[in-house]
Amino acid sequence: MKILVPVKRVIDYNVKPRVKPDGSGVDIANVKMSMNPFDEIAVEEAVRLKEAGKADEVIAVSIGAPKSKDVLRTALAMGADRAILIQTEAEVEPLAVAKILKAVAAEENPQLIILGKQAIDDDSNQTGQMLAALIDRPQGTFASKVEIDGDHVTVTREVDDGLETVKLALPAIVTADLRLNEPRYASLPNIMKAKKKPMDEKTPEDYGVDITARLKTLKVAEPPVRQAGEKVGSVDELVAKLKALGVNA
């Protein structure tokens, strides 16, 4: 069984994003970039399934600038077998990403595609769902547990009121949530080995996908500064203050 794992290069989660002075977007010049954290979890899950003998090959794929090779190398160092870079300097929206992934899936025939639940740069949380719709396959989003059972995958999902379990016929789409696993650090020998693993280079045009933006960014602004909190001396004082604010305490 093949597993395809789409990984996105985003601003590192430890970096506080800066808005460009003209409000046209987020400044990524000289900013540390890394693999989207949910995609690390997706890679880890795919590699664990391979280590458990449930999968034969893990393929990492990224759509983005040539520097996206860095995140693909990280995926290879974590244990993916090969990588595909679909190179473009344009910002690619979730629908276009999903269309490209559909074309990659048609070529590679993976039984399982594990994405991150969302990319932390745009927080769209759309690509996995759109891909499932485009290729007409079942989806298990926000996964906190994934078990392969013959020609099915059982996914425990994190939903608002607890956990939900769904059983999907393969091929299927899964999106990884935070509690699915704790991704490994790539060891130095594995980083060295990853340099020899194959990486194909393609473009969106190779897959016949039009990546023209459908969305227009009107303005990007910093969120309002949070007001400082206030310490109260007792529960009574807290209740009085809440009442004064009109909260039904």
Q: Which residues bind ligand AMP (CB under 6 A)?
A: 6-8, 36, 38-39, 42, 62-64, 92, 94, 97, 115-116, 118-119, 122, 124-128
61, two tokens: 């794929």
Residue 182 vs 230, nearer CB to ligand AMP: 182
Residue 119 vs 180, nearer CB to ligand AMP: 119
Nearest distance from C-beta of residue 86 to ligand AMP, angstroms: 8
Residue 142 vs 156, nearer CB to ligand AMP: 142
Nearest distance from C-beta of residue 234 to ligand AMP, angstroms: 44
Closest residue to ligand AMP in the complex (CB): 116
Nearest distance from C-beta of residue 153 to ligand AMP, angstroms: 17
Residue 7 vs 59, nearer CB to ligand AMP: 7
Asked if residue 41 lies in contact with residue 6, where contact means CB atoms within 8 angstroms, the answer is no
Nearest distance from C-beta of residue 107 to ligand AMP, angstroms: 16
Nearest distance from C-beta of residue 103 to ligand AMP, angstroms: 13
**Cβ neighbour number for residue 222 with a 10 Å cutoff:** 9
Q: How far is CA 214 from the centre of its chain?
A: 21
Whole-angstrom Cα Rg for the chain = 21
The closest of 196, 192, 176 to 44, measured between CA atoms, is 176
65, two tokens: 């600038």
Asked if residue 157 lies in contact with residue 166, where contact means CB atoms within 8 angstroms, the answer is yes
Nearest distance from C-beta of residue 98 to ligand AMP, angstroms: 8
- The one-letter amino acid code at 70 reads D
Q: Mention every residue, 6+ apart, whose C-beta is less than 8 A from residue 36.
A: 7, 8, 9, 10, 71, 116, 119, 120, 121
Residue 115 vs 168, nearer CB to ligand AMP: 115
Residue 199 vs 238, nearer CB to ligand AMP: 199
Helices 69-78 and 37-51 meet at what angle, rounded to 10?
30
